[in-house]
Amino acid sequence: MLALLLYISKISTFGQLGALSFAVVVRGLVIGAALMIGPFVTRSIVRRAHPRHYAILIDLVLVVAAAGMFIATAAC
């Protein structure tokens, strides 16, 4: 609870100083909500998966993440 109050005060302070726009706050809330909901949604899928299929899935996720980082770096 204390951490939540700290984050609210930070948002308020940076917002008043013009360093944090409303769009950035909304984007952060959406991403944060997705990060909190994701584990609950995927838990049943992971528990039902065969260990070998799970390992392949993790490998694919890592390859896609790495490709995304390379593409983002090349675009700069």
Looking at the whole model, is its pTM more than 0.85? Answer: no
State the angle between helix axes of 2-16 and 22-48 in degrees (0 to 180), rounded to the nearest 10: 150
Distance linking the first and last C-alpha atoms of the chain: 39
Neighbours of 28 (CB within 10 A): 13
Q: What pLDDT is attached to residue 63?
A: 98
Q: How confident is the model at residue 50 (pLDDT cuts 50, 70, 90)?
A: very high
Identify which of 38, 4, 7 has the alpha carbon closest to the alpha carbon of residue 25.
Answer: 7
Neighbours of 57 (CB within 10 A): 13
Q: What pLDDT is attached to residue 64?
A: 97
Whether residue 59 is predicted with pLDDT greater than 80 in this model: the reply is yes
What is the DSSP code (8-state) at residue 18? T
